Copies of this chain bind each other. A is one copy, B any other.
Amino acid sequence: MKLGDGVEAAIHCAAMLAGVDGDGTLPGNAMAEAFGLSPSYLLKHLKALTAAKVLESVPGPSGGYRLARPAEQITLLDIVLAIEGREPAFRCGEIRQKGSHALDPSAYVKPCGINVAMLKAERAYRMALAGTRLSDIVTDFTENTDQRIVAASCAFVAQNQRPQNSRTRMKG
């Protein structure tokens, strides 16, 4: 029951990407530096988010990552599933029919009650994650966070974002 460490990084990056203007992008390298992570490792997770259609990637200079859809349409569940995989945490190994006194397979047509209970709990977990949109995270961040952090984050985004439409970045 240990959630991968990359989930935290993924959500932070997604929240930061929600702050870029228009369809501009933010390089993974900049985000890694912003959060003190090894760039190569963060790329691994950003790649997973891209494969899950949560982010879009733009190659080449002035490339980077961008949200694949508005922050209102991205939930924490999307991000968690993209990083941790879509299959449930509890996988029933059907050990009830693995024992030495196994019965005829026809006896095991009904699902294992333990599996049902565990999956029910996990469904509650996913429901709670699905109920939190990325835009909620951003709103809560801008409202209930020390304004120094908000200002610093906005400044960082403004300085590192790469506009995509016919404009080059200004340096320094």
Contacts and interface: CB of A to CB of B under 8 A. Distances in A.
A107 B128 CA distance: 28
- Sorting the interface of chain A by its residue count into under 10, 10 to 19, 20 to 34 or 35 or more gives 35 or more
A1 B85 contact: yes
A171 interface: no
Interface stretch (A20-28, A43-51, A58-66, A87-95): A87-95
A170 interface: no
A11 interface: yes
Contacts of A84: 1-2
| Majority-rule SS of A interface residues | helix
A76 B121 contact: yes
Given A1-B85, A3-B89, A103-B149, A121 B117 contact: no
A152 B76 contact: no
A40 interface: no
Contacts of A92: 8
B1 A36 contact: no
Contact of A114 (B15, B110, B124): B15
13 contacts: A2-B89, A11-B118, A12-B114, A34-B99, A35-B98, A103-B149, A107-B149, A108-B146, A108-B149, A113-B137, A113-B141, A113-B145, A117-B136
